Amino acid sequence: MKIGKISENILKRSVLKLIKTENKKETSAAVGTDCAFSECEKVYSAVCPVTENVECAGYYAAMKAIGNLVIHGIKPLHVTASILLPEETEEKQLKEIVRDIIAACNEYDVVYSGGHTEVTGAVTRPVITVNCVGTAEDAAFDIGKNKRIKAGQALVITKWIGLEGTAMLAQHGLEELSSKYPVPFIRDAIDFKSYLNVAKEAAVAMKSGAVAVTDISNGGVYASLWDIAQRGGTGLCVDLKSIPIRQETVEICEFYEINPYQLLSGGALIYVCEDGDRLVAEFEKAGIPAKVVGYLKSGNDKIVTNADESRFLEMPGCDQIHKILG
C-alpha cells in the first residue's frame, strides 16, 4: 500500500466490511465520520498502544483498553483504533489487525466502531492504539482519588504474572525456543493470551470488598506494586515466593535472560482489600487463581522479601519485553 491515509476502497474492503459484517448494532464506523458518539452522561475512556513487533497486536491492544474499564465496573460501549502501518505493509496484514481487534471486542461484547488507518514512513512496524469508551453511574473504585487505599490492607494478585509477555515471546520465538523446549510446551505458552479477559474476576471483586485495583501492565508486577503504593501514599512488603508465576514464564524468561517480575502481565490484576484471605476464597469459588502476596505498610519503604533476604523495590524501569521485541 502507498504512504498516506488508506484509500476509500481499501477502507471499505478491509476495515468497514469486516466491522459491519460482525456488528449489526447502531453505533458503527462510516466513511467521512471522525468520531463515534454516545448520549450517556457519565462516560469513561481508556487507551492502549501496542508498539512491540508482535503477532496479534490488535488483539492485545483492544483487550488491554477494554479491560482497563471493565476492572473498574465500567460498561464498555465501543472501541476505536488508530492503525499506523509502514510503507511495505500488504493489505492482508491490515485485515489481520482488524480481525484481531474484532476478536477482542467479541470477547467483551463491545462494538468496534472504526478509527483511523494510515500508511506512513514514520513507522517501521505497525503501531496500533486502541481507545475504549464506556459508561457507569458510579465506577466501582474512586478513579484517580485513591482515598480508600491505606496501610494494613492486603495485596491480592489474580491468575499469574507475565502471561501477556510470555505469550508474545513464545509466538515470536517459536522456532528458536523449540531448540530447547518441546513444541507443546511453547504452544501452551502462546495460549496464555486466552487468560487476558478480566471480566469474571472484576465481577467477583466488586462484590467482595476490594477497595482498589490495577492491571499489571508495562514494567510488570514490580512496576504495578510500586504504582499502587504511590497512589495510596504508603509503603509495602511483598513476599517474592508468593507472587504467582507459571513455569512456562520462568523457562522462557531464563531463555531470553530477562526478569519475569518486570514483564508485561496483562490478564493479571492486583487488588487492594481489607481481608485478603476472604477475597482469595471468593476468587477460588469462581475458579480464578489468586494469592495474597503482601500488605501495604506505613511510611514509604517498598520491601520485597525472598526467604531470609529483603531488598527495596526500585522505581519502575523499561519493560523487559522491549529487550527482545523492541
Q: Of the candidates 233, 197, 242, which has an alpha carbon nearest to the alpha carbon of residue 212?
A: 233
Cα distance between residue 187 and residue 72, in whole Å? 32
**How confident is the model at residue 77, as a pLDDT?**
93
The domain spanning residue 14 has which CATH number? Answer: 3.30.1330.10
Residue 141: inside a domain: no
Same domain, yes or no, for 317 and 168?
yes
The mean-pLDDT minimum among 6-10, 63-67, 105-109, 148-152 falls in 6-10
**How confident is the model at residue 281, as a pLDDT?**
97
- Would you say 249 and 161 are in contact if contact means Cβ atoms under 8 Å apart? yes
Same domain, yes or no, for 167 and 259?
yes
Same domain, yes or no, for 245 and 316?
yes
Long-range contacts of 25-32 (CB under 8 A, 24+ apart): 25/111, 27/77, 27/78, 27/111, 27/113, 28/111, 28/113, 28/114, 29/112, 29/113, 29/114, 29/115, 30/114
Same domain, yes or no, for 180 and 280?
yes
Cell reading at 65 = 483498553
Same domain, yes or no, for 163 and 95?
no
**How confident is the model at residue 32, as a pLDDT?**
46
3-state secondary structure of 172: helix
Same domain, yes or no, for 15 and 79?
yes
Q: How many CA atoms lie within 13 A of 72 on its CB side?
A: 25
3-state secondary structure of 178: coil
What distances in angstroms separate CA 4 from CA 17, 86, 87, 130, 228, one per listed residue? 21, 10, 9, 20, 41
Same domain, yes or no, for 74 and 206?
no
pLDDT in tens, 202-252: 999 999 989 999 999 889 999 999 989 988 999 999 999 999 999 999 999
Same domain, yes or no, for 43 and 165?
no
Same domain, yes or no, for 316 and 167?
yes
Cell reading at 317 = 524501569
Residue 49: inside a domain: yes
Residue 143: inside a domain: no
Q: What confidence tier does 7 reach under pLDDT thresholds 50, 70, 90?
A: low
Residue 183's φ and ψ, nearest 5 degrees, are -60, -40
Same domain, yes or no, for 24 and 127?
yes
Residue 219: inside a domain: yes
**How confident is the model at residue 25, as a pLDDT?**
53
Residue 149: inside a domain: no
Domain boundary among 102, 135, 168: 135
Same domain, yes or no, for 176 and 320?
yes
* pLDDT of 33 higher than 50: no
Segment 21-32 mean pLDDT: 53
The domain spanning residue 309 has which CATH number? Answer: 3.90.650.10
The mean-pLDDT minimum among 52-56, 84-88, 156-160, 222-226 falls in 52-56
* pLDDT of 13 higher than 70: yes
Residue 147: inside a domain: no
Other Cβ atoms less than 10 A from the Cβ of 233: the count is 14
pLDDT in tens, 286-323: 999 999 999 999 999 999 999 889 999 988 888 999 99
**How confident is the model at residue 209, as a pLDDT?**
85
Residue 126: inside a domain: yes
Cα distance between residue 121 and residue 131, in whole Å? 23
Cα distance between residue 172 and residue 189, in whole Å? 11
Query: What is the domain count for the chain?
Result: 2
Cα distance between residue 211 and residue 141, in whole Å? 6
Same domain, yes or no, for 32 and 89?
yes
- Would you say 69 and 46 are in contact if contact means Cβ atoms under 8 Å apart? yes
**How confident is the model at residue 144, as a pLDDT?**
62
- Computed over every residue of the chain, the mean pLDDT equals 89
- With 0.85 as the threshold, say if the pTM is over it: yes
Domain boundary among 87, 104, 135: 135
**How confident is the model at residue 177, as a pLDDT?**
97
- The winner for highest mean pLDDT among 135-139, 154-158, 205-209 is 154-158
Residue 148: inside a domain: no
* pLDDT of 150 higher than 70: yes
Domain boundary among 78, 101, 135: 135
Residue 142's φ and ψ, nearest 5 degrees, are -75, 90
* pLDDT of 37 higher than 60: no
Domain that holds residue 191: 154-325
Cα distance between residue 16 and residue 130, in whole Å? 16
Estimate to the nearest angstrom the gap between the alpha carbon of 202 and the chain centroid. 14
